[in-house]
Structure 1
Amino acid sequence: MCQQNMILTQPIKIRTVEYLYYGCMSMNKKLSREEKIRYHRWMLYEDLDACLLRLFESFLESAPQLIFQLYAWATLKPSEDVVSLSIRITALLMSWASLSISLVSYHKSLRYSRKEKKNLSLLATPVYFIWRACEVGARLLCLSFFVTAFQAWIFLPVLLHWVAVTIWIIKQNTKFYDNRCFETIFNIICGYVMIFCFLNLREGHTRFRYLWFYIVFYFENFFMLGIWWQAIPLGDWYDFYGFILIFILSVLHIIVQLIYYKFSHPSKIDICLPWNRNLCYESVCHSLDEDEKQMKKPHHLDQQVVVNNG
């Protein structure tokens, strides 16, 4: 974990410094209007890149640590006083919140960097945060409960999901890099993040992608939860309340996501789409059309990143 943290921390620091530099240059009164606009765009791209790296860092570091901490707590059953228990729960909640905040920060940064996208309003931001927090929280609890009963067997459903989602991403023919090797590595990392939540890597209608992904997502969740229920009878208080919390978070996730798209989405959109075979295929496995092929490819990596979380 420390090596992963060091690998990602240095590029984040570099992009933060460049972000501040470009921001200062964009306000330099000695520069022309065109130069200010150019520096402002570079500033947004650096911010986008830094937020993307923070997103990867959060899920590479905080997500596995959360699962391990919950596993250790459930298996060791330490006797703690009220103060120690409060500190432990606060630490878990802070890690959970950091994952959700990284998703919100990246989504906001992505919209800022693209002229055609409206940004999240003050009302939409907390709604989006609750949606992502419920999604990630339910998933982490399911994985934590499963690992308490089956230990190393947790890698089987996780790896199957990772491989399946990565293949799905590759089949979507994403175009973040000109180098196919780099593109595949990026797809693999995004596939890892999608163990815990959904990432939309292509433009277009996302309803069917959400539908198919969450069908598999919640099937896995409740399958793991059911096996855990049969293997370990509910005994300690956190077993019972954790079991109930998963159902509450899952229901809240769906409700809040629908509220977000119905009332809080920056662009007014219809939740329901007509069921059409071609539309469904293009939404789930979207391929580049002729207009996209003819678009000018930006040379900067930040300009190529179009990961859209909703």
Structure 2
Amino acid sequence: MFQSDNQYSKLRWLLTVAGLFLYVVDIWTDVGLALKYFEEQHYVWCGLTLMFVMAALVVTQIFSFVWYWDDRNDGLINPEGKSNIGGMSTCELAVLHVFGLGIFTRFYHLLKKGFKEVWTTNHYTSEEVREVHHSLFCMATDLSMLKLFEAFLESAPQLLLQLYILLGHDEGSFVQYLSVTFSCFNIAWALVDYRRCLRRSLPHITEMPSGLPTTIYLLYKLCTIASLILSFSLLLILSTYSTIAFTVLWLLATIWTHALQTSFCSTRRLEPLYRAVVGVILTFTFFNVKGQNTKVAMIIYYFTHFLIHFAALLVMSLLKPEMWTSATFLTVSSLIIGGSVLGLVCLVLYYLLLHPGGKDPVGDEVDGLRKETESARRGRNSLQP
């Protein structure tokens, strides 16, 4: 019997609308902030703010269009070999992606199809219902992957930049606080949405329960990410040359991803870009890159985080001891230590007691599908939560 928990429900449709709103507002606040910096002649800050927005936009458009192309050539998704996708020709889709509307196109297709299925009466058999709702979750998973890329290519570095400006230059403004707030919300939303959509689109992976497991997982991610970004911001305040260290961390993460020989993309030419994006994500948080048991890798990863926190606080106390009399930096140091500890406690609680994977608490199984669509293949080979 098809379980209602696996259906694309009305609530899920409404949450997709909320996700669209959050995505738009996050970009608007960042663009508004860039314009403000430009008016105040902070051209470097303006350029960096826009650079993060544009980098995320370009990367997500590339992946979105390639996935549409893969789906068009997929015999299971497009058995009749039609040249259009969702009523749009390849040329029309290309134009939309050139103008940065790829994610909005996916939102439109998902909301349109979802509205037809969940808000109108349909006379389907149980098997047809299963197929339709699985198709909706595959569409939602593709969209959630793109939003995850956008969150770590734009929102996370944007958050780091704005915290550096706030803490190091006392340049606080209402628009800046809005940007920080919506960047946090966007990261949180992307993490949970990606995890839930991916697990629902893959039949061989157990569904992630809502409520306490989702809350603990979100706390684990947000606390570890926030403490790391705060440590990075302190290092930036000490010296802008700290960006070299961040670049080295990204290179190491990218090289490790390359060494794992990921097979996410349908073409080898695009795989290096995917590995570079995964390298950015791993700079901020841990993901199971290839579905293997990653207990050792996770321990090494968070031990490295501990070293970064320790170095940031130690170097700050040695080079700028006068800052420790400031309430702001005392608060930041407390947040770094407290967030790191709370995040790791939530990590242990989640993987020992609440993880839906059962016996293998860290590595999620990614093999075992025989016939699958391109969308399902992407999900199977993507980052495992």
TM-score w.r.t. length of structure 2: 0.66
Aligned residue for 1:202?
290
Contact 2:56–2:149 under 8 Å retained in 1: no
Which amino acid letter does the alignment assign opposite residue 59 of structure 1? F
Distance 1:271 1:40, change over 3 A: closer
Output the aligned Cα RMSD.
Answer: 2.9
Aligned residue for 2:3?
none
Within the candidate set 216, 228, 239, 1:150 is matched to: 239
**1:43-62 paired onto structure 2 within 5 Å:** 43-62=136-155
Aligned residue for 1:280?
none
**1:120-139 paired onto structure 2 within 5 Å:** 120-121=208-209, 122-139=211-228
How far apart are the structure 2 equivalents of 1:194 and 1:61?
A: 14
Aligned residue for 1:77?
170
How far apart are the structure 1 equivalents of 2:221 and 2:132?
A: 32
Q: Deviations over 1:100-157 (max 9, x none)?
A: 2211111111111111222222221111110111011011101111111101x12211
How far apart are the structure 2 equivalents of 1:34 and 1:26?
A: 14
Distance 1:45 1:243, change over 3 A: same
Which amino acid letter does the alignment assign opposite residue 110 of structure 1? L
Contact 1:18–1:43 under 8 Å retained in 2: no
Aligned residue for 1:192?
280
Aligned residue for 1:3?
54
Contact 1:12–1:50 under 8 Å retained in 2: yes
Within the candidate set 233, 257, 260, 1:172 is matched to: 260
How far apart are the structure 2 equivalents of 1:297 and 1:227?
A: 54
Distance 1:103 1:209, change over 3 A: same
Aligned residue for 1:18?
109
Distance 1:262 1:90, change over 3 A: farther
Aligned residue for 2:134?
41
Distance 1:186 1:6, change over 3 A: closer
Unaligned 5+ residue runs, structure 2? Answer: 1-49, 61-99
Which amino acid letter does the alignment assign opposite residue 163 of structure 2? L
Contact 2:235–2:312 under 8 Å retained in 1: yes
Within the candidate set 143, 147, 158, 1:65 is matched to: 158
Aligned residue for 1:243?
333
Contact 1:101–1:129 under 8 Å retained in 2: no
Within the candidate set 122, 130, 151, 1:29 is matched to: 122
How far 1:77 sits from its partner (Å)?
Answer: 2.5
Q: Deviations over 1:134-188 (max 9, x none)?
A: 011011101111111101x122111111111111111112111231221121111
How far 1:88 sits from its partner (Å)?
Answer: 6.1
How far 1:40 sits from its partner (Å)?
Answer: 2.4
How far 1:53 sits from its partner (Å)?
Answer: 0.9
How far 1:54 sits from its partner (Å)?
Answer: 0.8
Within the candidate set 206, 209, 212, 2:300 is matched to: 212
How far 1:89 sits from its partner (Å)?
Answer: 5.6
Distance 1:185 1:91, change over 3 A: closer
Q: Deviations over 1:169-209 (max 9, x none)?
A: 11112111231221121111011111111111222323222
Unaligned 5+ residue runs, structure 1? Answer: 273-282
Within the candidate set 287, 291, 311, 1:223 is matched to: 311
How far 1:297 sits from its partner (Å)?
Answer: 7.0
TM-score w.r.t. length of structure 1: 0.81
How far 1:228 sits from its partner (Å)?
Answer: 2.9
How far apart are the structure 1 equivalents of 2:213 and 2:123?
A: 37
Secondary structure in structure 2 of the residue aligned to 1:117: coil
Contact 1:71–1:145 under 8 Å retained in 2: yes
Q: Does 1:182 align with 2:270?
A: yes
How far 1:71 sits from its partner (Å)?
Answer: 1.5
Identity of aligned residues (%): 23
Contact 1:298–1:304 under 8 Å retained in 2: no
Distance 1:301 1:249, change over 3 A: same
Q: Deviations over 1:53-73 (max 9, x none)?
A: 111111222222222222212
Q: How many correspondences in the alignment?
A: 287
Distance 1:162 1:61, change over 3 A: same
How far apart are the structure 2 equivalents of 1:19 and 1:271?
A: 32
Contact 2:236–2:243 under 8 Å retained in 1: no
